Structure 1
């Protein structure tokens, strides 16, 4: 009996050690996560604790506005916002890691804008199964009653973009158009995944086919971080000298394309239709170099994401698709922004 008791005690000790090691591992991961890049926005005695995991990529302006909306709503609703900015070539792995850490930390909710992958979907599903409510800023194919999307209807975004493009020049019809997308082409990525850019281009194509006012010359995809919008704009101008309008899908690329138009002395010959609003973009709109932009209203999306989570704690959460309107600004109304 003594040897049986010894074996039992040894097994019990092994279980305790293993459990302690696992706990220490995740504690270490949490401590690593709370590095110099992590910002905690706490009110006094916060009612909720949410994890905000954002990869800005090339669309810094939108996600910066989104973050500001989250922070403001956190203050209004007395929610602690643990902000984890993601960047770098290993961003996909980092997002998955932070989602897993938030799950183990038992936060009340997660706001995240990760891209579709098997590992990401698994991390989101595991968090949802743990009872954590999740709001995503990028439309997902994950089926969960604890998952909500807050953002733009990208088909409608494409339709509005096409209508703005068709008005951008009165020199001739149809308008010769080139598009610069921040995404990789589907030949370079997983062809089974439909991106938001694919949906947006479907909206543009629907207007082109219906109204016959636009001739789509070329669509440029971001194949490498080394090839920026400036280079892509120069390539378009060289290969398609007949181009009338270049459409860009984020603020960084919009401003970069406008600078190339100035550089090439093509102001008045080629105009930019873009996305996002910065002081530089406002300047180019006033000068007529950018005809107009679509504002995806990142601030509203971020604010709404927190509102949804605050209303979801407990059993009241309902999976939802919250559409944030896309607004249009040209020289006529840009000073109102």
Structure 2
């Protein structure tokens, strides 16, 4: 068995990967025989399919909500779902799990996309082996993945620019903080920036001042925020990551500069909600992670049972500022509990 696995990995399978594959093999047997069975019931039901999910397991509430959306849709569809969560930007771990999923012959794969050529090749190999693959939030456009599920990047940038224009009364001097994470979908980020800049030009007295690039982490963003604060001609910041927005907000508070900068971001968390309520962050554009999660299950089911699905599934965006925060929180709570009445 070990020799067979090494052959599939072209001789690069180490003991760790071998152990994971063997553990997964036996876990699959147990899962297929026991999952969703009611011990006391004569009508025990086995799962229809075994799907495999790979995406960041950080403290980002976005991915926690994606996971919840997947769990809810999987339960209602009688599908078994196995989660494998990694640190953001862990391309090596993503590659390993994609190979493990293929070798284990799961029924479908859900993963965050990447432009990394090795990950694209691993996705291609899974699809060629008859395993459907869908990507979430960031895409792998050059791969054979069957569907991308997430928000329209251009529209995100467009709506963010409108918030900046609104918050500065059309007199914006903006600094943008982009992601330098290797896992980032560069094409999507460029599309977002294009939407932002195109819309910003609609305001005659608004202009871009500078674009910064940050690696994941609040501390990295705080250093950039300090640099921006020293430039008195900048009165607005647009950050494309929730942790970036938190880092900027914390820096502005620490430097007693609340109110001088209009902060607009992408993505939301309880901490960001608090900053919006307190007037530190002007507003954000957010994706709909619960919908992204549930739609990923729907897409895999369509691929399994109809052999087709939409190649791009736009899950929409939500605009949240101080005026709309209470309504957003009410809707979000209803979605989380499954009570949408």
TM over 0.5: yes
Whole-Å Cα distance in 2 between the matches of residues 227 and 87 of structure 1?
17
Task: After TM superposition, list the pairs within 5 Å mapping 1:249-328 onto structure 2.
Answer: 249-328=240-319
SS at match of 1:121: helix
Q: Which residue of 1 aligns with 2:105?
A: 106
1:67 aligns with 2:59: no
SS at match of 1:177: strand
Shift of 1:29: 3.4
Q: Which residue of 1 aligns with 2:142?
A: 142
Q: Which residue of 2 aligns with 1:3?
A: none
Whole-Å Cα distance in 1 between the matches of residues 149 and 5 of structure 2?
39
Runs of 4+ in 1 over 6 A off after TM superposition: 23-26
Q: Which residue of 2 aligns with 1:161?
A: 160
Give TM-score, length-normalised by structure 1.
Answer: 0.82
Q: Give yes or no for contact 1:42–1:81 (8 Å, CA) kept in 2.
A: no
Shift in CA distance, 21/65, structure 1 to aligned 2, threshold 3 Å: closer
Shift in CA distance, 257/18, structure 1 to aligned 2, threshold 3 Å: closer
Greater gyration radius: 1
Q: Which residue of 2 aligns with 1:78?
A: 78
SS at match of 2:149: strand
Whole-Å Cα distance in 2 between the matches of residues 327 and 65 of structure 1?
15
State the superposition RMSD in angstroms: 2.9
1:231 aligns with 2:228: no
Shift in CA distance, 273/194, structure 1 to aligned 2, threshold 3 Å: closer
Whole-Å Cα distance in 1 between the matches of residues 96 and 319 of structure 2?
37
Q: Give yes or no for contact 1:244–1:269 (8 Å, CA) kept in 2.
A: yes
Post-superposition Cα deviations, 1:254-310, rounded to whole Å, max 9, x if no partner, equal 122111111111112112112222222222112211111111111110111011112
Shift in CA distance, 256/43, structure 1 to aligned 2, threshold 3 Å: farther
The answer for unaligned runs of 5 or more in structure 1 is: 1-15, 35-39
Q: Which residue of 1 aligns with 2:53?
A: 52
SS at match of 1:293: strand
Post-superposition Cα deviations, 1:89-124, rounded to whole Å, max 9, x if no partner, equal 7x1111111111101111110000142122111100
Number of residue equivalences: 305
Q: Give yes or no for contact 2:262–2:281 (8 Å, CA) kept in 1.
A: yes
Whole-Å Cα distance in 1 between the matches of residues 206 and 281 of structure 2?
18
Whole-Å Cα distance in 1 between the matches of residues 281 and 97 of structure 2?
38
Q: Give yes or no for contact 1:53–1:95 (8 Å, CA) kept in 2.
A: yes
Post-superposition Cα deviations, 1:110-156, rounded to whole Å, max 9, x if no partner, equal 00014212211110001001111111011222253x51000011011
Q: Give yes or no for contact 1:43–1:79 (8 Å, CA) kept in 2.
A: no
Post-superposition Cα deviations, 1:50-105, rounded to whole Å, max 9, x if no partner, equal 10000356x8232222111111111111111110011277x111111111110111
Q: Give yes or no for contact 1:55–1:114 (8 Å, CA) kept in 2.
A: no
User: Equivalent of 2:210, from 214, 218, 230?
Assistant: 218
SS at match of 2:80: strand
Whole-Å Cα distance in 2 between the matches of residues 141 and 20 of structure 1?
29
Shift in CA distance, 327/33, structure 1 to aligned 2, threshold 3 Å: same
Q: Which residue of 2 aligns with 1:125?
A: 124
